[in-house]
Amino acid sequence: MQLSATQYVKHPASTISAEALAGWTPIEARSFGDQRFLNWANFGDIPFADPFFFQTAARLRSQDSYKIFTTGFEALEAFQSPENTIEPNGFIFHVSHCGSTLLSNVLNGIPRNFSISEPEPINEVFIDEGATLEQRTMWLRGLIHAYGQRRLGNEENFFVKFNSWAIGFFGLIRAAFPTTPWVCLYRHPVEIMAGQFNRQQLNTLWLLDERYSGLGREQRVQTGLVEILARTMGRYYSVIRDIATADPGGLCINYNQLSPATYTRVCDHFNIHPDVHEFEQMCEQTKVHAKDFERKKIFDGDTEKKRKEAYPSVYEMADAWSMEAYNKLEEIRLR
């Protein structure tokens, strides 16, 4: 059932064939009671070239007319065995404000590569506590295969960048994709915390989640945001260290390592082999600010600036709750 994007669908179709969904991309996920629905959009010839998926979706919505296709999550069964899709070459995890968007842009720098960055429907699968592990595994596999469809005809390599808090769902991701290589970017906690507070970009979903802060609801209400964020960063580093120790498919990268040599290493890790000209095109992406979807703002390193701007309490809480775990993660990376 093809519908105008402005129409409300009370009872979407629950199942549909892969042929009917060919070329359509999951754009929104919604739940009503125990029912879960997906809106699919046809992006036509719009490439997934923006720093974030929501920016590409905004380009689509800015058009005078666009269409959506609404199904139940059951439609994802059609994408369990990828046909006319690309198995993901690699996954990108990160701890926020640490260069993951830059890396995604670099990988996305040539036409035969494309990267899906933090699509909202995947997040809905992560946080759906009413579904079984088997269901969520099927949904996640179907979603990623749906994003990996060859829409333009020249695509060869495909990458997925998850939200920062997705590292807590690594087991689910591994259940869906047992062997896909992954990288995880991280950074000194003071620099991350300064970026969060100075730009007022606190991600409250993971910041206030007991899973990461280690604080119950009442404790979170009584504890300052700086301490909660510092605790969360410490938990991130510990989780990454545990995963990197146990899983041979990973590569941990500190923000201060980002360079052409590191991009070459990531390409090898993800089994992609750009020629000299393509690699130059990829590295061109580093000259502009990674999150500027207009690609006009010149990139300027901000490490020293962040450290100078960080409040004294940021240093204090980082020392108390983050630095030990950060240093242990560094030990793993440097081995």
pLDDT in tens, 28-73: 998 887 889 999 999 988 999 889 999 999 999 888 778 888 899 9
Predicted TM-score of the model (pTM): 0.89
Contacts of 179 (CB under 8 A, 6+ apart): 249
- Rounded CA-CA distance 268/284 in Å is 19
Taking phi over 0 as left and psi of -120 to 50 as alpha, with beta for the rest, 99 belongs to: left
CATH class, domain 82-334, is: alpha beta
Taking phi over 0 as left and psi of -120 to 50 as alpha, with beta for the rest, 292 belongs to: beta
Q: What is residue 205's predicted lDDT score, i.e. its pLDDT? A: 46
Using the structure block, give the residue that is written with the tokens 């979903």. Answer: 205
- Rounded CA-CA distance 206/58 in Å is 24
- Rounded CA-CA distance 240/250 in Å is 10
For the chain, the average pLDDT equals 86
Q: Phi and psi at residue 193, in whole multiples of 5°? A: -65, -40
Q: What is residue 207's predicted lDDT score, i.e. its pLDDT? A: 52
Using the structure block, give the residue that is written with the tokens 């899906």. Answer: 116
Using the structure block, give the residue that is written with the tokens 């010839």. Answer: 45
Q: What is residue 303's predicted lDDT score, i.e. its pLDDT? A: 85
pLDDT exceeds 90 at position 14: no
Q: What is residue 15's predicted lDDT score, i.e. its pLDDT? A: 58
Q: Per residue in 169-225, pLDDT tens?
A: 999 999 999 999 999 999 999 999 887 776 555 555 455 566 677 777 667 666 778
Greatest distance between any 2 Cα atoms in the chain:
58
- Rounded CA-CA distance 327/217 in Å is 29
- Show me where the domains of the chain are located: 82-334
